Chain A
Amino acid sequence: MSAFTYLVTKQWRNSLREKIRHPQFWIGVLIVLAYFTLYIYQEVSHTGATGVLDNAIPTFKGGVTIAFLIIAFAALCVGLNHGSSFFKASDINYLFVSPLSPYKILLYGLLRKFLLSVVATLILLMQLTNLRFYFGLGIRELLILMASWILLSMSLSAITLSVYSITSVSKVMRRIILIALYLTSATVLLGVVFALWQSGTPFSDTITFFNEPHLHYIPLGGWASGFMAAGMDGNWDRALIFAGLLVLLPMIGLFFAFRNRSAYYEDVLTSIGHGYGNSLYHNTSEMMMKDQGKKRKSHLLGKKRGEVVLFQRQMTEQRRSLTILFDRGTLGMMALAVLLGAFLQSLQRKGMYPFIMEILSVAILCYAMIFTIPMGKFVDELNKPFIYLIPGSSLRKLYYASTAPVIKAFVEGILCFVIVSLFARLHPAFVLCGAFFYASAALLFYASYLASLKTMGLRNSRGAHMTLAFAILSAIFLFELSFGANIGRKLYDISPNMFLLDFVILAAFNVVVSVAFFYSSKGILDYRA
């Protein structure tokens, strides 16, 4: 048995042994088994009973093309900015310094990533029933979809690794490639919009428009989509050409990347970061160079003392990382607000009631905010020792630890609701009322997360905590839906504009619930796991 095989098999065997000891593993296995049992039962007892959509296959293919293009763009951007994720620190210590062939080491990294992709792709099996019910897809189509996804993810990983390594000698080159990527993506997007407009396709048929064969010539995302479309149509020659392209291009990239092995190793070291001085050194030196000549304030924002320093520190960090209250999440939310506004405008033209549009915009933006909210900063705060060590009230410490993102959410809410209101011609007061609710929802999410930490303990994974927090939040939102509907109806009867007060009342309710959660979870600061 070679060293690589030994490493993989032993690690997997030990991981499995570890997992078997934990009840969560068995609960997961039981859920999956129950799901498949249910699926087989449904297949046997309800044959032929499907609700296949009109134009199902083109819609499905178009949707997959959109998803693949977005994933390819996002993966390339992340990969080019952050480098390889193939290896761990232990690989550097024991593989890179060993006499094993560097090509074999890379192959090991690729195969490991490949196996992880395959395991992750198995999640698609959970959607088997839906895909069959709504799109009429069979096992063959599903296998082709999985194969195209695996090919795409592997190809993206290898390409980003290659480009990152090849350009590591010149940072300017990397920047140029990134700019070229942005420009190409913008050109493709504009081209699609223009073609859509030229073809006179109605808005509702946009997704099926992405089934156009021309889009399959877009590198990576388009090729994967082309492979899937051709495979589903049974056109295997065409499918193999796309698969070949997806394999060949990364191979060429990897060949060039490996000609300069040290550069490649250095990139891995830099991307791994933790525990490797050179990464920190690299970042620090880059930062120092960037800030040469700048006068940097060395103190925290604000002058108050006590628990408030947690808030002041977060604001100071935020100021240094970007602007004080904005980040990429804010930009994403504003982009979503523009899309939402355009959608609401079309509803408004059809004579939709403003209060329904207000509820829709608040619900959609609050839901989306959950994915852009800087939860990591709050989690980091709990991982650092300061919040446990500084003297003061636990409740106040938790409150100040979550204040900065809540203020950010409020400003973000104002901007988003201004955009939505301008498009859909909603009442100006809605901006403020909506922003209050939006900020209170952010606070509630932090409080729910804290409650989940308190319930499950700090040792569980972040994903588990987020899932429970999400469940708590969903339950509260469901309650608010009926509670708000009752109050809103009464307020609407008084005056349509009075309905806006409903958001303020619900925001106040959110704050009360959050404080209750904070209070009940404050014991978490008594110890540090």
Chain B
Amino acid sequence: MLRVKGLTKKFGKKVANENVNLSLEAGEIGVLLGPNGAGKSTAIKCILGLLRFDGTVKIGGFPANSSKAKQILGYVPEFPCLYDMLTVREQFEFVVRAYKLDREKSRRYAAELVDRLRLTEVVDTLCKDLSKGMQQKVSIICALLPRPKLLLLDEPMLGLDPHAIKELRIIVQDLAEEGVAVLISTHMIATVEGIWGKAYIMNKGKVVSCHRKEEMVGMWSESLERIFFAETESYDSQWRYDEEIRPSTAKAPATHPASNPARKQAQAVSRPKTTKKKKGNKKKKS
């Protein structure tokens, strides 16, 4: 459903994304993890066609930015900027008209989502008068209304109450069962812990590693949080190790993540290519 090949995005000389490769099949739930400034939101904006980039992005076989791709795409933005002077109901109606959806079906679906996310009391309130959490919920419903085949969620849980988070997790799982591919970019790892199928870890604009849930079953790094910390910390410390420690010391320090046997096991499964590359670099340097 989603194919991203060699996506590179530069702001002047600053590289925000470098050779990012992603893929999601129908019914797959992917998570995009990474520290602040890793380039997750930029990558999502490139996929949406909001930023120009080098590389190729295909959504359902159509190039990103084409109207056919947009017809099957749903997007929950990082900041829920709604039309202030529309009521919640009118906001939904606008989406129905923009995507040329069947009105009756969409209204019923909207009513169902409104009920599930507990927005019934505010449907006739102007969006500017809603709290941030409420706006986020409206934004989520707007993204779901066109019944997209690919759903991009950029920090969707921010500002949501625990009930809404729980409900959103269920909705995402239901959508995945219906064959919708979902890509979630988030810092709140715990909120996607039980639902993810594929995890892309990003750091400094690059995809550091890709993990599949089924490959990790029964391993120490089955937990997404562990994978995240192992990957991002190791990436940084590896870099520090290569740049600073390696020239002056013969051996890697005992605390180095690479010396952890469990870590080695995880890397063998999840990241053989990256590990080889790093080793190659070390050899060259030594």
A269-B51 contact given A100-B98, A275-B79, A281-B11, CB 8 Å threshold? yes
A contact residues around B99 at 8 Å (CB): 98-99
A203 contacts chain B at the CB level, 8 A cutoff: no
A282-B11 contact given A3-B94, A11-B86, A98-B98, CB 8 Å threshold? yes
A contact residues around B4 at 8 Å (CB): none
* A6 contacts B81, C-beta separation under 8 Å: no
A88 contacts chain B at the CB level, 8 A cutoff: yes
Bound together, the chains give a CA A10 to CA B87 distance in angstroms of: 9
**The one of A97, A260, A289 that contacts B70, using a Cβ cutoff of 8 Å:** A97
A contact residues around B52 at 8 Å (CB): 260, 262-263, 266
B264 contacts chain A at the CB level, 8 A cutoff: no
A2-B50 contact given A278-B11, A278-B42, A288-B14, CB 8 Å threshold? no
Q: Which one of B11, B70, B75, B79 has the highest number of Cβ atoms from chain A below 10 Å of its Cβ?
A: B11
A94-B50 contact given A89-B81, A275-B79, A278-B45, CB 8 Å threshold? no
**Minimum CB distance partner of B13 in chain A:** A289
* B12 contacts A282, C-beta separation under 8 Å: yes
**Minimum CB distance partner of A89 in chain B:** B81
B contact residues around A497 at 8 Å (CB): none
A321 contacts chain B at the CB level, 8 A cutoff: no
**The one of A6, A97, A100 that contacts B75, using a Cβ cutoff of 8 Å:** A97
* A285 contacts B85, C-beta separation under 8 Å: no
Bound together, the chains give a CA A282 to CA B12 distance in angstroms of: 8
Q: List B43-84 residues whose CB lies under 8 Å from chain A.
A: 45, 48-53, 65, 67-68, 70-71, 73, 75, 77-84
Q: List A93-113 residues whose CB lies under 8 Å from chain B.
A: 93-101
B258 contacts chain A at the CB level, 8 A cutoff: no
Give, as a whole number of angstroms, the nearest-CB distance from B36 to chain A.
10
> In terms of DSSP, what is the predominant structure of the interface of chain A?
helix
Bound together, the chains give a CA A1 to CA B93 distance in angstroms of: 11
Q: List A478-520 residues whose CB lies under 8 Å from chain B.
A: none
* A11 contacts B81, C-beta separation under 8 Å: no
A92 contacts chain B at the CB level, 8 A cutoff: yes
* B14 contacts A7, C-beta separation under 8 Å: no
**Minimum CB distance partner of B82 in chain A:** A90
A contact residues around B37 at 8 Å (CB): 281
**Minimum CB distance partner of B51 in chain A:** A266
A1-B14 contact given A90-B84, A261-B49, CB 8 Å threshold? no
Give, as a whole number of angstroms, the nearest-CB distance from B236 to chain A.
20
Bound together, the chains give a CA A261 to CA B67 distance in angstroms of: 12
A326 contacts chain B at the CB level, 8 A cutoff: no
Give, as a whole number of angstroms, the nearest-CB distance from A171 to chain B.
7
A contact residues around B126 at 8 Å (CB): 14, 18
A94-B78 contact given A99-B67, A262-B65, A285-B14, CB 8 Å threshold? no
A contact residues around B13 at 8 Å (CB): 285, 289
Interface string of B199-225 (1 = CB under 8 A from A): 000000000000000000000000000
Interface size on B, residues (CB 8 A): 44
Give, as a whole number of angstroms, the nearest-CB distance from A274 to chain B.
8
Bound together, the chains give a CA A97 to CA B50 distance in angstroms of: 8
B contact residues around A10 at 8 Å (CB): 85-86, 90, 94
Interface size on A, residues (CB 8 A): 41
* B83 contacts A262, C-beta separation under 8 Å: no
**Minimum CB distance partner of B91 in chain A:** A94
A contact residues around B67 at 8 Å (CB): 99-101
A15 contacts chain B at the CB level, 8 A cutoff: yes
B16 contacts chain A at the CB level, 8 A cutoff: yes
Interface string of A78-97 (1 = CB under 8 A from B): 00000000001110111111
* A14 contacts B97, C-beta separation under 8 Å: no
* B78 contacts A277, C-beta separation under 8 Å: yes
**Minimum CB distance partner of A88 in chain B:** B81
Give, as a whole number of angstroms, the nearest-CB distance from B241 to chain A.
25
Interface string of B4-25 (1 = CB under 8 A from A): 0000000111101000000000
**Minimum CB distance partner of A15 in chain B:** B85
A262-B50 contact given A15-B85, A278-B42, CB 8 Å threshold? yes
Give, as a whole number of angstroms, the nearest-CB distance from A367 to chain B.
37
B41 contacts chain A at the CB level, 8 A cutoff: yes
**Minimum CB distance partner of B36 in chain A:** A277
Q: Which residues of B contact A (CB under 8 A)?
A: 11-14, 16, 37, 41-42, 45, 48-53, 65, 67-68, 70-71, 73, 75, 77-87, 90, 93-95, 97-100, 126, 139, 142
* Sampled A-B contacts (15; CB under 8 Å): A3-B94, A6-B97, A15-B85, A93-B81, A94-B82, A94-B94, A98-B99, A101-B67, A261-B49, A265-B50, A277-B42, A281-B14, A285-B11, A285-B13, A286-B12
Q: Which residues of A contact B (CB under 8 A)?
A: 1-3, 6-7, 10-11, 14-15, 18, 88-90, 92-101, 171, 260-263, 265-266, 269, 275-278, 281-282, 285-286, 288-289
Q: Which 5 A-B pairs have the closest CB atoms?
A: A285-B14, A89-B81, A262-B52, A3-B97, A275-B79
